[in-house]
Amino acid sequence: MRGNNVVGIIFSNMNEELVRELTEGRTMGSVPFGCRYRLIDFPLSNMVNSGINKVGVVTKRNYQSLMDHLGSGKSWDLSKRRDGLFILPPFGNSSSEFNNRVETLYAIKGFILNSREEYVLLCDCDVVCNINYQEVIKQHLKKQADITIIYKRGIVPSKMNTPLILSLNTDGRVKETYINPKIESECSYGINMILMKKNLLIKLVAECMSKNEVNFKRDLIQKNISKYRVFGYEFEGFMKVIMSINSYFEANMALMSKEVRDQLFYNYRPIYTKVRDDMSAKYEQNAIVKNSLVANGCKIDGEVENSILFRGVKIGKGSKISNCVIMQDTIIGNGCNLSYVISDKDVTIKQERTLMGFKSYPVYISKASLV
Amino acid sequence: MFPKQEVVAMLLAGGQGSRLGVLTNKLAKPAVPYGGKYRIIDFALSNCVNSGIEAVGVLTQYQPLILNEYISNGQPWDLDSMNSGVQILSPYQRIRGADWYKGTANAIYQNINYIERYNPEYVIVLSGDHIYKMDYSKMIAFHKEKEADCTIAVINVAREEASRFGILNINPDLSIYEFDEKPENPKSTKASMGVYVFNWNKLKEYLILDYKNKESDNDFGKDILPAMLNAGEKLFAYEFNGYWKDVGTINSLWEANMDLLGSNNTFDLSDESWKIYSKNPVKPPQYIAESAEVKNSLIGDGCNIYGKVDFSVLFDSIYVGKNAVIRDSIIMPGAIIEEGAVIKYSIVSENTVVKKNAIVGSCPNEVLNKDDWGITVVGDNITIGENAIVAAKSMIDKNVSGVKNNERK
């Protein structure tokens, strides 16, 4: 059985200024990740796997690559007669600009109100995880909550954009929230996934707009904590927040662990992505590959270690690639030596080039460059 | 009302492929997995789409479940258009009785209605069990240029192999004057590839005549083409120079896979201008571990490789344990090869488990008597027990129980 009473809203541009290199020509949602995915594949697949049949993707700018990736939504089973995938770019006059989350929600209130579903789930693209929202919905109903905020227990990742820290009582109800406090110890921090009734959301958004108080966390959530039944839902699985080029690199490298892969690519809740129809990865005579993740369409004739190779990457004979993230269709010639490099898509690295970054400072090569 | 199509393709996919043994127990030959992610029928379907053919009828008969499920609405090949695309055509019941497809020609005869919907000029008859990349539009252009009634694609084969094929004897202008089915002393080396272009009106005429002839086998090669030739119709041969493989036997299926690897790579699947489309598994990327050694091989999505793989084709979602060795073999989706197991010159089917330290197959030089050697085939969903030994050339369709290490022969 598919389908539940929830419509999903994904913000594809949120926090993209934190990884400026990768989002220069694309949205946060279309940042390539993990050999064959884009970041939006995770929230989209999570929603679909949780029975959400209608998803609106909010786009603000730079969304050509995102549109290309999503297409009709077929790859996520969201190409449907009823419901399915909706792309929500800015429209209308200046009153409907997408400057912040509250204004954006105000601008798309037509989409939300016209949905048959009673609840709405808000989510960003900067969190990589595999979460079953059905459990969140179940808890939301059981607790008779007005608002459920999904959180993670742990030390707040440094550089996370204005983290929302929750103080919970034993029942899981949120007593107090703190925005961007100085906490070094373990705490419960929101991961920008929020579930509530759509009518409540629209009401709160309208209130905020009427007072011109448009900070989502401060004005819409924090000010209403005592007024409504706000609960936390703890997500316990593997999760990474992408908030800098370093955390992007680390999140990719984390996939080398079998435990992480098992939690992220859970068999019954697969992560879907756009199909490319590449042939299987091809290993040639001189290939030596160790502790690496490789996508279809790769051709490897060199040495690869601790690296992530996206679809269609070619590694020439005698080249040595270690601790690198090499995005789709990058061509590396013969005899190159790369270490701690993030190469964006369609890069060409001619033969005998040496590029060295450092663990804490990987070298980034922008899209379609020629080295 | 269906839009007119200049060309309708009829893809024969009903064959059992009995010489593939356990591999075709539960599926038709065109559905046999090939090349790390494809099924054989992907080639004919992709060729159609890449050649601009929009209407494709797929004739199924033997074990059609997996084939039907695989093709479904044709979306992976862009064959899910509103008024055309792919259509599965199975045998059906009529007011007066019901018939299986008696032969290749009879299969087309029974689906004249399907073809007529599109009011085509030409019908191209294809076989779903060949591996090749071919631009049919060039062949159709040749057919038009020669003002032929029927054009048959031919490929040069080695003279010693020619007696396995239907051989065409050809005049210098490429017109055909004789058709030799598996001749003992072939006069030429031009073998029919089982790809025919017909003028639809002509073909229909001959299909009806052939159906009325009670003596006929209702087969293109044996009946329709000789009848056309005898009646003086214009038959031409279209020469094809690319890679073409009829994977009718275990050996040829194995060889066709090996043709994709290392220095014997004679068939390129990475060509962007002639993509082979298929249904893609939804699987994470493959992981090659620290202990792994992978060379001269194709590996699919979702594999976890901890052992050694050389000159092999691995489909998706396969686990290869530490110190396991796979060489010169084909491993189909979902198989588990445990620690220390050795697979040599074998085809291991879907979801089969080879337990620790088992040995499947052997190299040609490890067998004393040459006649005892051959490719080992293990069917799907089978367990080969711990330390078990599966001899070369065997075909396994039941579980093989394990033995204690010291009892191993």
pLDDT for residue B406: 66
CATH number at residue A327: 2.160.10.10
A173/chain B closest Cα distance in angstroms: 36
pLDDT for residue B47: 97
Residue B281 has pLDDT above 80, yes or no: yes
Q: Each residue of A199-213: pLDDT tens digit?
A: 999 999 999 999 999
Interface check for A272 against chain B (CB to CB < 8 A): the answer is yes
Residues A243 and A361 in one domain: no
CA–CA distance, B99 with B91 (Å, rounded to integer): 7
Cβ atoms of A241 and A157 within 8 Å: the answer is yes
CATH number at residue A15: 3.90.550.10
CA–CA distance, A167 with B216 (Å, rounded to integer): 85
CA–CA distance, A189 with B70 (Å, rounded to integer): 45
Residue B163 has pLDDT above 90, yes or no: no
ipTM score here?
A: 0.91
Structure tokens that stand for B94 in this block: 């009529």
Residues A54 and A165 in one domain: yes
pLDDT for residue B266: 86
Q: Considering A264, A294, A310, which residue would you say is the last residue of a domain?
A: A264
Residues A234 and A174 in one domain: yes
B261/chain A closest Cα distance in angstroms: 8
Residue of A nearest to B291 (CA): A290
Q: Considering A237, A264, A291, which residue would you say is the last residue of a domain?
A: A264
CA atoms within 13 A on the CB side of A217: 17
- Note the residue count of chain B: 409
pLDDT for residue B82: 86
CA–CA distance, B247 with B257 (Å, rounded to integer): 10
Residue of A nearest to B285 (CA): A295
Q: Is residue A274 part of a domain?
A: no
Number of neighbours of residue B275 by Cβ within 10 angstroms: 17
Residues A286 and A240 in one domain: no
CA–CA distance, A179 with A234 (Å, rounded to integer): 18
CA atoms within 13 A on the CB side of A16: 24
Q: Considering A264, A296, A315, which residue would you say is the last residue of a domain?
A: A264
Residue of B nearest to A33 (CA): B285
Cβ atoms of B282 and A272 within 8 Å: the answer is yes
pLDDT for residue A113: 93
Q: Is residue A270 part of a domain?
A: no
Structure tokens that stand for A193 in this block: 């996934």
- Closest to B36 (Cα-Cα) out of B279, B247, B266, B313: B313
Q: Is A78 helix (H, G, I), strand (E, B) or coil?
A: coil
Interface check for A278 against chain B (CB to CB < 8 A): the answer is yes
Chain A residue numbers touching B296 (CB-CB < 8 A):
283-285, 287
pLDDT for residue A1: 42
Mean pLDDT across B68-75: 92
Interface check for A331 against chain B (CB to CB < 8 A): the answer is no
The residue among A336 and B159 whose pLDDT is bigger is: A336
Does the distance separating the beta carbons of A296 and B298 come in below 8 Å?
Answer: no
**Nearest 5 degrees, angle CA A7-CA A9-CA A14?**
170
Residues A259 and A292 in one domain: no
Please name the residues in contact with B134: beta carbons below 8 A apart, sequence gap of 6 or more.
Answer: B47, B51, B153, B195, B240, B242, B244
The residue among B315 and B96 whose pLDDT is bigger is: B315
Q: Is residue A221 part of a domain?
A: yes
Chain B interface, best mutation among A264, A296, A317, by max B CB count within 10 A: A296
Mean pLDDT across B207-234: 93
Does the distance separating the beta carbons of A258 and B299 come in below 8 Å?
Answer: no
A296/chain B closest Cα distance in angstroms: 6
Q: Is residue A276 part of a domain?
A: no
Can you say whether residue B82 is alpha, beta or left, with left for phi > 0 and alpha for psi between -120 and 50 degrees? alpha
Residue B60 has pLDDT above 80, yes or no: yes
CA distances in angstroms from A152 to A170, A193, A223, A271, listed in the order given: 16, 11, 22, 21
Residues A229 and A326 in one domain: no
Cβ atoms of B256 and B269 within 8 Å: the answer is no
A261: nearest CB among B276, B284, B315: B284
Q: Is residue A273 part of a domain?
A: no
Q: How far apart are the first and last CA of chain A?
A: 52
pLDDT for residue A2: 54
Does the distance separating the beta carbons of B287 and A293 come in below 8 Å?
Answer: yes
Does the distance separating the beta carbons of A277 and B280 come in below 8 Å?
Answer: yes
A303/chain B closest Cα distance in angstroms: 11
Cβ atoms of B110 and B99 within 8 Å: the answer is yes
Task: List, for chain A, all residue ranges whose pLDDT scores fall below the cut of 50.
Answer: 1
Residue of A nearest to B296 (CA): A284
B289: nearest CB among A271, A286, A291: A291
pTM of the model: 0.93
CA–CA distance, A219 with A211 (Å, rounded to integer): 10
A283: nearest CB among B275, B276, B295: B295
Residues A253 and A310 in one domain: no
**Placement of tokens 């979602």 in the chain:** B317
Q: Is residue A371 part of a domain?
A: no
Residues A230 and A304 in one domain: no
Does the distance separating the beta carbons of A292 and B297 come in below 8 Å?
Answer: no
Structure tokens that stand for A189 in this block: 């921090």
Residues A90 and A226 in one domain: yes
Q: Is residue A179 part of a domain?
A: yes
Does the distance separating the beta carbons of B314 and A282 come in below 8 Å?
Answer: no
Q: Is residue A168 part of a domain?
A: yes
Residues A121 and A20 in one domain: yes
Q: Across all residues in chain B, what is the average pLDDT?
A: 93
Interface check for A79 against chain B (CB to CB < 8 A): the answer is no
Q: Is B289 helix (H, G, I), strand (E, B) or coil?
A: coil
Cβ atoms of B396 and B382 within 8 Å: the answer is yes
DSSP assignment of A149-200: EEEEEEPPPTT-SS-EEEEE-TTSBEEEEEES----S-EEEEEEEEEEEHHH
Residues A157 and A69 in one domain: yes
Task: Report how many domains make up chain A.
Answer: 2
Residues A197 and A307 in one domain: no
- Closest to B110 (Cα-Cα) out of B227, B222, B208: B208
Please name the residues in contact with B64: beta carbons below 8 A apart, sequence gap of 6 or more.
Answer: B14, B28, B88, B90
pLDDT for residue B97: 82
Structural domain harbouring A339: 282-365
- Under 8 Å CB pairs connecting chains A and B tally to 105
CA–CA distance, B277 with B272 (Å, rounded to integer): 11
Q: Each residue of B326-355: pLDDT tens digit?
A: 999 999 999 999 999 999 999 999 999 999
Chain B interface, best mutation among A256, A277, A299, by max B CB count within 10 A: A277
pLDDT for residue B122: 97
Residue B199 has pLDDT above 60, yes or no: yes
Does the distance separating the beta carbons of A294 and B299 come in below 8 Å?
Answer: yes
Does the distance separating the beta carbons of A280 and B36 come in below 8 Å?
Answer: yes
